Amino acid sequence: MALNEAEAGPRQALASTPTPPTAGLAEPLPPGSAAWQIRVSNALVSLGWNALILLIFLAGWQILTILINSRFFPGPIAIFRAFVDLAVNGDTGGRTLSEHAWASVQRVLVGFGLAVVAGVPIGLLMGLYPRVYANSRVVLEPFRFIPPIAWIPLAIIFFSGMTRFAFLIFLGAFFPVFTAALVGVSRVEPIHRKVGLVHGASKRWILGHVVFPTVLPDILGGMRVGLGAAWLTIVAAELAGGISLGLGRMMSNYAELVQVPQVIVGMVLIGMLGLLMNEVLLLVEKRLFRWRWQVSL
C-alpha cells in the first residue's frame, strides 16, 4: 500500500524550490540547511535596510537642524546628549529616565493586562451567546465611543496613583481586545464543533480546543491594537498631572521649562518601548501560529 507515492510530500517540494520569506516562517528549520540559510540572510538584509533608513533619517534631521539653527529645533546629537544626561543625572527633581520609563511601563502593563483578562472572556461569552450581546448592546457600545482621554477629569476626581492609570488604560485597551474576541467567534467552523460532539466532548473541551484556537489569532491582533491605545492613554493621563513620575509627566515638566531636547527624549523613548512590546507580541504570534499559511506582516 504505497499511498504516498502518488501524493508527493511538500517537504521535498520545499527543498527544490526557493522558499518565499513568508512561507518560511511557518516551520522551524534545522540550522545550516539551505532554507534556513535563506531565512537568515533575508533577516540580515531586512536588518541592514532598517539600519540604513534609520541612518538616513537621522542624518537628514541633523542637517535640517544645522540649517535652521534654533534651540527650539534640536537635532539627534543634542537629543542623545539630553538622553544620556537624563539617564545618568536625572531630571530637575533628581529622577532618572529609567524611573520615569518604568513608572509608565508598569501602568501600561497593569491596565493592559486587566483589559486582556476581562476582554477575552467577555468577548468569547458574548460571541458564543449572541443574544447577551444583542440585548446589552445599547449600554456597551456607547462606552466604546467615549475616548479614554474624556475619562481623565473623572478619573482624577475618583482615583489616584496606579488605580487611576490602570482604570484609564483599561478603558483604552479593553474594546480592541473585546471586539476582536467577539468577532473571532464567528470564524469557528461548525464542523470542528461536530468533531468534538460526536466523540462525546464536553462544552469545556469545545471551548478550549475548538473555539479558543480559532479565535486566538484575532485576540492577538486585538491585543496589538489595544497596546497602541494603552500608550496613547497613559501619556495623556500623565500629562494631566497630579503625579511626579512617568514619561508624560517628565515631558510636561520640560515643556514648561521650554527645554525641547528633553521633551523629544520622552517621545523617542515612548516610540521605542511601543516598538519593543509590539515585537514581543509579533514573536508570540510567529511561535503560536506556525499552523497558518501566512503569518501577519
Q: Compute the 3-state secondary structure of the chain and give helix, strand, coil in percent, each to the nearest 5.
A: 80, 0, 20
What character string, x for contact with another protein (CB under 8 A) and - otherwise, covers 18-57?
--------x-------------------------------
Closer CB to another protein, residue 120 or residue 265? Answer: 120
CB 244 within 8 A of CB 93: yes
Cell of 152: 481623565
Closer CB to another protein, residue 131 or residue 199? Answer: 199
CA 28, distance to chain mean position in Å, is 24
In the complex, least distance from residue 198 CB atom to another protein, rounded to whole angstroms: 4
In the complex, least distance from residue 199 CB atom to another protein, rounded to whole angstroms: 4
71, 137, 194, 287: residue in contact with another protein (rule CB under 8 A): 194
Give the range of 41-49, 190-198, 224-232, 236-244 binding another protein by CB under 8 A.
190-198
Could you count the other beta carbons within 10 Å of the beta carbon of residue 84? 12
Q: Which residues contact 157 (CB under 8 A, 6 or more apart)?
A: none
Q: Is 157 in the site for another protein (CB under 8 A)?
A: no
1, 66, 67, 157: residue in contact with another protein (rule CB under 8 A): 1
Which of 242, 296, 238, 225 has the alpha carbon at shortest distance from 269? 238
67, 131, 293, 297: residue in contact with another protein (rule CB under 8 A): 293
Could you count the other beta carbons within 10 Å of the beta carbon of residue 96? 14
196, 222, 246, 261: residue in contact with another protein (rule CB under 8 A): 196
**Residue 19 three-state SS:** coil
What character string, x for contact with another protein (CB under 8 A) and - otherwise, covers 209-238?
xx--xx------------------------
Give the range of 71-79, 99-107, 159-167, 195-203 binding another protein by CB under 8 A.
195-203
The amino acid at 187: R
Angle between helices 97-128 and 76-89 (to 10 degrees): 100
Q: Is 195 in the site for another protein (CB under 8 A)?
A: yes
Name the one residue in this structure whose C-alpha cell is 480559532: 214
Q: How far apart are CA 12 and CA 248, in angstroms?
A: 55
38, 118, 201, 239: residue in contact with another protein (rule CB under 8 A): 201
Q: Which residues contact 161 (CB under 8 A, 6 or more apart)?
A: 243
In the complex, least distance from residue 240 CB atom to another protein, rounded to whole angstroms: 44
Binding site for another protein (CB under 8 A): 1-4, 6-7, 9-11, 26, 191-192, 194-201, 205, 209-210, 213-214, 289-293
